[in-house]
Structure 1
Amino acid sequence: MGGFMAKVKAPARRSMVRAEVARTARTGESFVTLTLAGPGLADFEAQGFDQCCRLFFRREGQSELAMPTASHNGWLAQYLLMRPSVRPWVRNYTVRAFRPEALELDIEFALHGDAGPASAFAARARPGEPVGLFDEGIGYLPAPDARSQFLVADESAVPAVLAVLESAPEDLVARVLLEVPHPGDIRDITAPPGVEVRWLHRDGRGGVPGRLALHTAMSTPLPEGPFYTWVAGESGLATGLRRYLVKEREVPKSHVSFLGYWKHGRGGVG
């Protein structure tokens, strides 16, 4: 996932981490989870919620995974100076789960054929495939006075919402809209009792991801009192819902976190 992140809580410390694919599992008609493992994960600091990382992986034909070495934002300059023949792909992904005792980390991918390098990588990944990780922090930053929350996502951000709900306190009150491509992507999830989850599916008809979630969110009654909105996915969903809430419903900008993970018809860094 490329795109923009409106505001992020950066990690206290971070470094380039090397790992490898340990196993894969299908978690829906359009989803696959890769479990990454390796001693390098001892340096990973889990924060929960929608913590995201830069994921580095090989382009087809590359025999080795070359990675930047900087432990700060200078990594990007290093990356861009790499020869095209050795430069890996890099995309943003949510940490779905981290098990420090086993040095294992899960990342869940929304598959969309060979339309993007990350989707193709996740679909073909096998145990032993090398990867790199660089922590980017958390974009889920609820307003202190929020009495409830409104979480909206297309398939690219479904793993982030599920991670948020699993990290949430038991007294969380929230309305959640999750858009997915197929009915087979709907699953039972773990959430506090005050969370109302509504799945939306496109029934495999295609179209621009996020449009269904955006139109549904704009016609859904908003929570009463001060509430916090977290919306992520295709940039049209993120910016469209923020614009609607701030301009038409007079929600304070400070109460909306919007994260454009990707833009329809355009790739990310790399």
Structure 2
Amino acid sequence: MTTAATTPFRFFALHVVRTLRLGPSLVRVTFAGDDLSAFFSDGRDQSLSLFLPHPGQDAPAVPVELGDGWWQGWRELPDDVRAVMRSYTLRALRADALGRTTEIDIDFVLHGVEPGALVPAGPASLWASRAGAGDRVLLLGPAIADNRAIRFRPPTGTDLVVIWADETAVPAASAILESLPAGLRARVWLEAGHVGDIQDLATTADAEITWLVRDPPSPDTSSTPSAAEAVRAAQLPSAERPYAWIAGESSAVKELRRHLVRDRGIDRRAVTFVGYWRRGLSEEELRVREA
């Protein structure tokens, strides 16, 4: 396999180092590999593309040449052969004394892997639930620390940060909270599928964090009502320069953006909204539709 750098992004051949179960539907997978010495990121909501093998494969199947035409080459591989591609956010990275990245963490939300699940597990959930040391993956990630796949960018002078994330965006929201300067006011709503998925998050910001637990936990249950009602019912502190970051299921994100702009009067340019997934569509279907 020939790996070509695509500035500011490139491919990284990685392997699993260890896994950590964070809750009933959350698992953290730690990756390493020699390629990571060229991995640089300022963190926050850094987006990544992860390529996973199908069951029975010892490595993800990708085109031999991973240059500018990798997407078309990947699409031309047979459906049951080509690597499963999924978008994730960087949860954390660790570096050596010279600043070279040695490990990265990615948190996976597991759907359908529990006994008696109403909806079968998707390929990424299935892979993450079974991941073990040495398992090989491919990652398309940043070679430049400040890159366009980081969306959280509060303007200079921001005096209030508003965050909402469903469980797919909680890893990004968690990393964002860690990055906020000490004392900055933040009002945060995070969604969880189970009470056991609630995490203690580190931040030096003046952050008020509210967890919203869906009941019953199901990937088909709309997050929109609980999310919208919780934010609408909240009394936000007065602020001259508020900034909002909302991410998760597309319809919930759009509804919350409308609320923040129309009802709360936040400048639409100060609202970053990211649809991480769309109900009823797999990521492959979504990518093809948006291509």
Q: TM-score, normalised by structure 1?
A: 0.88
**2:134 paired with 1:128:** yes
- Trace 1:148-163 onto structure 2 (pairs within 5 A): 148-163=160-175
| SS at 1:269 equivalent | helix
Distance 2:189 2:211 in 1: 6
Q: Which residue of 2 aligns with 1:7?
A: none
Distance 2:7 2:156 in 1: 21
Distance 1:95 1:228 in 2: 22
C-alpha deviation, 1:210, in angstroms: 4.8
| Residue among 118, 125, 130 paired with 1:119 | 125
Paired amino acid for 1:217 = V
| SS at 1:118 equivalent | helix
Runs of 4+ in 1 over 6 A off after TM superposition: none
Q: Which residue of 2 aligns with 1:202?
A: 214
Distance 1:239 1:129 in 2: 37
Distance 2:173 2:60 in 1: 30
Assess, with a 3 A threshold, how the Cα gap between structure 1 residues 77 and 211 changes in structure 2: closer, same or farther.
farther
Q: Which residue of 2 aligns with 1:265?
A: 280
**2:79 paired with 1:84:** yes
Q: Which residue of 2 aligns with 1:45?
A: 40
Amino-acid identity (%): 39
- Trace 1:168-247 onto structure 2 (pairs within 5 A): 168-206=180-218, 207-225=221-239, 226-247=241-262
| SS at 2:284 equivalent | coil
Give the greater-gyration-radius structure (CA): 2
Distance 1:156 1:36 in 2: 19
Q: Which residue of 1 aligns with 2:151?
A: 139
Q: Which residue of 1 aligns with 2:91?
A: 96
**2:11 paired with 1:16:** yes
Assess, with a 3 A threshold, how the Cα gap between structure 1 residues 172 and 100 changes in structure 2: closer, same or farther.
same
C-alpha deviation, 1:192, in angstroms: 1.6
C-alpha deviation, 1:182, in angstroms: 1.2
Q: TM-score, normalised by structure 2?
A: 0.82
**2:61 paired with 1:55:** no
Distance 1:23 1:29 in 2: 18
Assess, with a 3 A threshold, how the Cα gap between structure 1 residues 92 and 257 changes in structure 2: closer, same or farther.
same
Distance 1:63 1:186 in 2: 33
Deviates more, 1:108-117 or 1:250-259: 108-117
Deviates more, 1:148-157 or 1:61-70: 61-70
Q: Greater relative contact order (Cα 8 A, min sep 6): structure 1 or 2?
A: 1
C-alpha deviation, 1:264, in angstroms: 1.5
Structure 1 gaps of 5+ residues are 1-10
Distance 1:145 1:166 in 2: 19
Q: How many aligned positions are there?
A: 259
Assess, with a 3 A threshold, how the Cα gap between structure 1 residues 243 and 130 changes in structure 2: closer, same or farther.
same
Q: What do the CA deviations read for 1:201-253 (whole angstroms, capped 9, x no partner)? A: 12444322354223211221234222000000111221111122223333211
Deviates more, 1:117-126 or 1:212-221: 212-221
C-alpha deviation, 1:63, in angstroms: 4.0
C-alpha deviation, 1:191, in angstroms: 1.2
Assess, with a 3 A threshold, how the Cα gap between structure 1 residues 84 and 29 changes in structure 2: closer, same or farther.
closer
| SS at 2:173 equivalent | helix
Distance 1:246 1:71 in 2: 41
Paired amino acid for 1:141 = R
Distance 1:71 1:16 in 2: 9
Q: What do the CA deviations read for 1:149-170 (whole angstroms, capped 9, x no partner)? A: 0000111111111111112221
Structure 2 gaps of 5+ residues are 1-5, 113-119, 143-148, 286-291
